[in-house]
Amino acid sequence: MLERDAAKYPFLKEAVRLVDALNIQLNDLADPSFSKILDRATERVTEAIIEGVVEAKLEDYMTELLSYPVASMLVSLKGDSFLDRRYALAEAVRIYFLLMKEDSKTLFDIAINEFNWDLQNTKENYDGQTYPFKLFFNNYLHSSSIFHEDKWKLVNRILKNGYVLLQQNEVARLIQGEVEMLIRERVSNRVNFDLPSPIKLKLEEISKIFEENRRKIGAEDLPLEVIREAFPPCMTYCLEGLLSGRRASHMERFALTSFLINVGMPIESIVDLYVSVTDFDEALTRYQIEHIAGLKGNKTRYTPPLCDTLRTHGICRNKDEICERIKHPLNYYRIKAKRVIASQPKENGTNIINN
């Protein structure tokens, strides 16, 4: 493989082999001769934070190639899951733009050799458009799983005999999805070791830029108070249902409970809520809520299901304009809470559920 290709697509198995063969150690990176690589790595991460996409700089392809694993390391060292996702997406978008310029043979090579896809040529025509590719639906479901636009839902695709019809740019986009997941997984592997000072400095630089941009890129935390007005329609539906004593499915109760926990409602209040409106057994209710909160059992704190999941189970109701922009009820809450706070003078800001 050409180094230039490796620089374009550093996640490819062969590119990784190429980098491994150079056997660069952490301390080497502190050496001034590597400063170009360290600089470019830092730049990759800051581009991801600020622009949301990493630019492809292919003139100095060795620097480009070697800066990729270093950038991943920096992100992983920073240890912020929001940054993980942002960086993975930014690298994946860079790759998407490059793939758009490739011929179909290169796409086939990557899809088949790297991701073991069952991708085939075909020639089908629908709505006046030609579909030159078809992909086995398993592979499709995996690679499209992080897209949430309606267009990528399986039900909106042409699925025939196990294969999804695709156009060339769609194949590139699906590879992007696959790459994004790959990088996400890689950077979310937390590492921890003593860093030589040049790397430490770079990490501080990244942290600073990340903090400065936190708000702008939507990585800020949820408000401290529970703001009832900011609940998404689905959660309002669940809550009102509960208050009126309607029979609620397990999914509904799980979604509401995990939502309330995540927006910061105290467990006591949630238990009271359930016990007051139903005749649930208090001890059992508390146990279940604590389980969802991650205080019991396997200690994982549950987040509410994605909008897609809520939609499948018929809980997504009365969608509004914010819903069109989000994929997760907590994100709805985050956006709406900001608006509610902004539109209200501090004095009467007591829309808190406190019973």
Partner 1 sequence: MLLNLKKMVQTLSIINIQIIYFSPIFKLLCALKLDMESDWGSTKFVVEQFSKWYRNNAKTIPAPTEIKLREFAFLTFEGRTMFRHISFKDEVVLHRYLIDNAPANSYHSSSYYKHPDYDMNEKGWIGADLVFDIDADHFNLPCQTEHDKWLCRNCGKTGVGKPPELCECGKAQFQTETWLCEKCLQAAKNETQKLLDILIQDFGFTTKNDLVVNFSGNRGYHVHVRNKNVRYFDQSSRREIVDYILGTGIKPEYIGFNPKGHGGRSILGDEGWRGRVGKALYDFVDDSSSETIKSLNLSRTLTQNLINKKSEFLIALQNNHPSFILKKFAGRDEERIITDLDTILKIAIKQQSADIDTVVTTDIHRLIRLPNTLHGKTGWQTQTINPENISDYDPFTNAIVFKGEEVKLFVRWAPKIRIGDTTYGEYNEEKVTLPLAVAIFLLCKKGARVIN
Q: How far is CA 186 from CA 20, 69, 78, 303, in A?
A: 16, 10, 13, 22
Q: Does 294 bind partner 1 (CB under 8 A)?
A: no
Binding of residue 310 to ligand SF4 (CB under 6 A): yes
Q: Which does residue 161 bind out of ligand SF4, partner 1, none, counting CB within 5 to 8 angstroms by kind?
A: partner 1
Pick 116 or 354: Cβ nearer partner 1 = 116
DSSP collapsed to 3 states, the chain: CCHHHHHHCCCCHHHHHHHHHHCCCHHHHCCHHHHHHHHHHHHHHHHHHHCCCCCCCCCCHHHHHHHHHHHHHHHHHHCCHHHHHHHHHHHHHHHHHHHHCCCHHHHHHHHHHHHCCCEEEEEEEECCEEEEEEEEHHHHHHHCCCCCCHHHCHHHCCEECCEEEECHHHHHHHHHHHHHHHHHHHHCCCCCCCCCHHHHHHHHHHHHHHHHHCCCCCCCCCCCCCCHHHCCHHHHHHHHHHHHCCCCCHHHHHHHHHHHHHCCCCHHHHHHHHHHHCCCCHHHHHHHHHHHCCCCCCCCCCCCCCHHHHHHCCCCCCCCCCHHHCCCHHHHHHHHHHHHHHHCCHHHCCCCCCC
- From residue 161 to residue 190, the character string flagging contacts with partner 1 as x (rule: CB under 8 A) and all else as - is xxx---------------------------
Q: Which is nearer to ligand SF4, 293 or 326 (CB)?
A: 326
Query: Given candidates 158, 191, 201, 284, which one binds partner 1 under the rule CB under 8 A?
Result: 158
Binding track over 108-127 against partner 1, x by CB under 8 A: -----------------xxx
Q: Say which entry of partner 1, ligand SF4, none residue 129 contacts (CB below 5 to 8 A, set by partner kind).
A: partner 1
Does position 302 interact with partner 1 (CB under 8 A)? The reply is: no
What's the CA gap between 270 and 149, in Å, rounded?
34
Pattern 204-243, ligand SF4, x by CB under 6 A: ----------------------------xxx---------
Binding mask 9-28 for partner 1 (x = CB under 8 A): --------------------
Does position 141 interact with partner 1 (CB under 8 A)? The reply is: yes
Which of 101, 105, 123, 250 binds partner 1 (CB under 8 A)? It is 250
Instruction: Give the residue, chosen from 20, 204, 212, 308, that forms a contact with partner 1 under the rule CB under 8 A.
Output: 308
CB of 241 to partner 1, least distance (A): 9
Q: What is the nearest approach in angstroms of ligand SF4 to the Cβ of residue 252?
A: 12
Site track 315-334 with ligand SF4 (rule: CB under 6 A), x = hit: -x--x---x-----x--x--
Q: Are 182 and 67 in contact (CB under 8 A)?
A: no
Binding site for ligand SF4 (CB under 6 A): 232-234, 307, 310, 316, 319, 323, 329, 332
Binding site for partner 1 (CB under 8 A): 125-129, 136-138, 141-142, 145, 150-151, 153-163, 244-247, 249-251, 279, 297-298, 306, 308-309, 311-314
